[in-house]
A and B are shown apart, each in its own frame.
Chain A
């Protein structure tokens, strides 16, 4: 099973709302990633977790707060977002951070901030 699942598929939120995105994998992978993708652009890395510890934060604004409660789950907590944060949010996983490992992506959450 090479599946990464993400919920919800779509999310509409106001600028004062708090919401969370969820990502799950059952491949035994120990590295998990959050990416943001704007229309007609490649994915941009936001965060990397390795063995449930934050490894990389690509200078992401604090209104995005990642959490890795266990090796299978990755959350992205959203608060006080701006309309320009509207995008497709992609989760990915890999065996670990060894350079040769393949990344597997989830289907994404389409976020619209009003």
Chain B
């Protein structure tokens, strides 16, 4: 059974810092890994999708990497802003049938 862990559970940084969020998974036989952002009481916003054959994806200030062999993904946020404050979730697709396993998320607070 796939297990997904996100560390740290919470992170507080001053504005302007570069930061890294971690996602680890136990079964390396994955189809893809997706990073989401969720604001309180809202839906999930897709940030980046990394296919199993890819090593990284970039979008603006965000960069996500994937190392299947070690069961790890990182989300790098450059020059953090207060608007980046949210919970960040990673989801690993290991089933053709449509199931994804989510981590518990990292709650990020960026202080002005």
On whether the beta carbons of B97 and A108 are closer than 8 Å, the reply is: no
Category for how many chain B residues contact A:
20 to 34
Residues of A within 8 A of B49 (CB): 102
Majority secondary structure of chain A interface residues (helix, strand, loop or mixed): strand
Q: With A and B bound together, what is the CA distance between A41 and B89 in angstroms?
A: 10
Q: Are B41 and A110 in contact (CB under 8 A)?
A: yes
Given contacts A99-B96, A103-B91, A107-B43, contact A42 B105 (CB under 8 A): yes
CB of A5, distance to nearest CB on chain B (Å): 10
Please tell me which stretch of A14-22, A43-51, A69-77 contacts chain B, meaning at least 4 of its Cβ atoms lie within 8 angstroms of it: A43-51
A103 contacts B46, C-beta separation under 8 Å: yes
Complex A-B: 28 CB contacts under 8 Å: A31-B98, A33-B98, A42-B102, A45-B99, A45-B100, A48-B97, A48-B98, A48-B99, A56-B97, A56-B99, A90-B44, A94-B98, A97-B97, A97-B98, A99-B31, A99-B32, A100-B31, A100-B32, A100-B51, A100-B52, A102-B34, A102-B46, A102-B49, A105-B44, A105-B45, A105-B46, A107-B42, A108-B41
- Tell me which residues across on chain A come within 8 A of B76, comparing CB atoms: none
Considering the complex, give the chain A residue whose CB is closest to the CB of B98: A48
Nearest Cβ on chain B to A103's Cβ, whole angstroms: 6
Q: Bound state CA distance, A99 and B95, in angstroms?
A: 7
Q: Within the assembled complex, what's the spacing in Å between the Cα atoms of A92 and B34?
A: 13
- Docked CA distance A94–B103 (Å): 20
Q: Which of A41, A92, A97, A99 has the most CB of B within 10 A?
A: A99
Tell me the count of chain A residues lying within 8 A, CB to CB, of chain B.
Answer: 29
Interface centre among A50, A88, A90, A100 (most CB of B within 10 A): A100
Closest Cβ–Cβ distance, residue B73 to chain A (whole Å)? 15
Residues of A within 8 A of B (CB): 4, 6, 31, 33, 41-43, 45, 48, 50, 55-56, 88, 90, 92, 94, 97-108, 110
CA distance A88 to B31 in the complex (A): 27
